[in-house]
A and B are shown apart, each in its own frame.
Chain A
Amino acid sequence: EAGVTQFPSHSVIEKGQTVTLRCDPISGHDNLYWYRRVMGKEIKFLLHFVKESKQDESGMPNNRFLAERTGGTYSTLKVQPAELEDSGVYFCASSQGTRLNTEAFFGQGTRLTVV
């Protein structure tokens, strides 16, 4: 079974440009999460989808970040315009919808560098 996959694995962009990160969760997982680890800091929650709906977006840093999950399948996270402080590793995770099995499976991450 394929795990959570993220594209691209690395991205280097200039300040002011736009970048779109993609996450394909494990098939059948209703829950999809985005997290971010900025250099030297802890992994922080960004937002949580249940199917196509945003369950919790309390961790989104500002309105330059836009997340979507079309049809409850893959998700995209767009940063527009990117700033230097957006550099970090962006992780996606997915889990099944029941409380009995809440293990979150992580993707390999996208390393974003804004120069």
Chain B
Amino acid sequence: AQRVTQPEKLLSVFKGAPVELKCNYSYSGSPELFWYVQYSRQRLQLLLRHISRESIKGFTADLNKGETSFHLKKPFAQEEDSAMYYCALSGRDFGNEKLTFGTGTRLTIIP
């Protein structure tokens, strides 16, 4: 079974401080991991995915298969980073492209 765990429902960080949003997963096959973000009054949108190995808006996430983790990190938080963040997983095998989401972490950046 696919499962994504985000242990923190709420996270508050001062502007300029480092941010780490935790995500752990369980999946029997080879997963594809994503981070989605929902800013206030906007739709859910893709922030980044492990397969592209990009840094988006200063955020990075590394897939650690040994620890089954995909934590989201940013060295210096900005006020505009305040949002709801969802870690998600999908299978790479055909017919299993559905996303399994974690419960989300609401990140608040304190000015």
Contact = CB atoms under 8 A, between A and B. Distances in A.
Interface of A: 3-4, 31, 33, 35, 41-45, 48, 55-56, 59, 91, 93, 95, 99, 102-109
Contact of B99 (A4, A35, A55, A105): A35
Contacts of B46: 103-105
Interface residues of B, number: 22
Interface of B: 4, 32, 36, 43-46, 49, 86, 90, 92, 94-104
B98 A45 contact: yes
Q: DSSP majority for the B interface?
A: loop
Given A42-B101, A48-B97, A102 B44 contact: no
A105 B44 CA distance: 8
Contacts of A43: 44, 86, 99, 101, 104
